[in-house]
Structure 1
């Protein structure tokens, strides 16, 4: 409900319109149910008892007519909004292209020909952005709530999300699809910066790509964001066609007493504890 870009702002407006148009259906129910229960209660009720009453054309018309009109109106608004906010349609000319690979329980972002990052994506302000998204292992859902809605990331498939950034900010993106043991840690930093800062970010020192490729296969969770050299030009496409290239798979299911699961449990407890402390500090 606090959008930082036009796509998220449109989705908020869509939600408000839906809420207002549902009021003619929901308010009579919310008001009428307790009124009927009180007026026609067995003892002390003031309603007139008519055991043989069974039909009212007017009541039928009001009940079903209002519901039908509401559904038609909401259907129209849904169609218009979906066409307007098609995630596959670019939101402006010359978008920044970023390739995304989701895996249990981390995200890789590839700036083609420039760099690769893990659990961190940096975007220039007021700029169209196009994400190409795929996954390895369990299905995930790519979601940056204050910039755009979610879209699924699936092994062997490619999806897209287009958006336009707003003012500079620091937020988080999430996986909103439950996918196993370290799901609470499955998030990434999203920094919207000035264009000069974005250009400087692309020039920052990077670790070798081979180091990322090896670690990504055997590491379930990533301790923090890191920058790496870019992979080969067609790496993302190869991963989409054959997810095992990027990961060994099977990380989503770990025995409860396994060393890997115990380490994940410690990380989750630490992360939740830090989140609670931050929440208390903000209050």
Structure 2
């Protein structure tokens, strides 16, 4: 997710960016920072962020963040979260009519920031990857004669074959799983329990390893490990502390 931070305190903006990018549950990339309305709009035009964090009061403009929000609602249609040091009865009353995605009161704690960013992640993924509504609770069946394939049942009695060797990564997503395949731009999304999919179809393979409670990767496609995250193509996948030793062992790293 590309994030824009609009904050007139540059040090605070930089600290916020570092905290956000350290969260392990998703790939956040702060692609822009702005201290005024004009600079914020220019950043939105240039970077096209997926989410904006807006301070309400900016550089001699008591409603700068609100004015940006109005412009976003009119022209850009991206979610935004207010961050403000104003008293609740002032800041919230001013901001609520612009329909923000969230509202963080300064000084915000780590847990509050993480929760609102996690919700933003789910919202973003549901917009990016429309969920296939399956007709059955468990749409996954093995191909009878080849255990290296899976048939996924979608709508209208259609079956789609997935070759296990082509899976780059699998992510738990609410009550669904997201399956990213080789040579496919976006992951497929199906209704299934993550634990069931992993244990029944991937756990016995020497190529798949769970890196976190919500991620499984195919070691054949690992390009690098960067800041305790596995890089597969453009995707950075977090390595949970309890999974680290097993991941490194399977990758052959000592």
Q: TM-score range by the shorter chain?
A: under 0.3
More strand by share: 2
Structure 1-normalised TM-score? 0.22
Larger-Rg structure: 1
Structure 2-normalised TM-score? 0.23
